[in-house]
Amino acid sequence: MKPPDSRFGTALTLTARELLRNRVAVLMLFIIPTLFYTIVALTTRTAKVPFKLASVAGSPLAQVSERSSSLIFIGTAAVGLLAAFLGLSLVQKNIEANRRLVLCGYRPAELIGARLVVLLVVVAVVGTFVAELLPLFFTPERFVLVMAGFALAGFVYGCYGLLVGAIFRRELEGILFISLLANIDAGWLQNPVYYAGAQNQVIIRLLPAYYPSQMSIIAAFTRYGVGRAVTGSLVYGSAFLALALAVYFLRMRIRRPRPNPMTPV
């Protein structure tokens, strides 16, 4: 049996190779955010719009151009959505092959840990790429923190994708669950302009994309602190990850038949 470090390294290598073989999917990770930004640039105004910085004490108002705020909102949503689908794919694909690896001595934690590392690397790369597109339209106040906000959106929704992939065996159900939450949350309710006029804002604040979206917006347009947004994002993502680990472990558990004491040796 391989030592633990060797097993994890092998699982990590195989997961990365499997992802890189799907070149169309890898290209789409960069094409989709570019397309989203292009549509935003073509359809939004440069007029100033007010919105609340909801996660800052006192909820102060900020006024920035509609285009700039939409770019931050769409960038966060795009990274989160792509990460969720990637997490779903990494867990659901080759599930039976992974069960055979468990029979060969691999631990479920090693298998999903390898997928988590690959997911985090891809999220960091895509988040950086999306943030690097922003200077084509405007210069954020704190560029590095905006990039971190995009990455945190990917972490939260990527872990949600891992959880959905661990729960559902078939791809269709997983896609529907991700599309339902991601489109309502990251793709709609976290829009800062919509939030400013929403009636039940507490519901929006309870959704997964709230803290990453707030971090990106605060960092892009103000000098306010983002500690609360960082903490909330890490707590939400870690909760999804812990649940994904628990469910994945149960799915990968191999029930061995108990020996029959009446069976002759």
Q: How far is CA 207 from CA 93, 131, 224, in A?
A: 27, 23, 22
Highest mean pLDDT among 45-59, 103-117, 126-140 belongs to: 126-140
Q: Is the pTM of this model over 0.85?
A: yes
d(CA 255, CA 34): 47
Q: What confidence tens digit (pLDDT) does each residue in 254-264 have?
A: 655 555 555 55
Those residues whose C-beta lies under 8 Å from the C-beta of residue 178, and which sit 6 or more positions away, are 81, 84, 85, 88, 160, 161, 164
d(Cα 74, Cα 91) in Å, to the nearest integer? 26
For residue 107, what pLDDT is reported? 83
The alpha-carbon radius of gyration of the chain (Å, integer) is 21
**What is the rounded average pLDDT of the residues 70-79?**
96
* Distance in angstroms (rounded) separating the CA atoms of residues 147 and 130: 8
Question: What sign does the CA torsion over 181, 151, 50, 35 have?
Answer: negative
Write out pLDDT tens, residues 151-198: 999 999 999 999 999 999 889 999 999 999 999 999 999 998 888 778
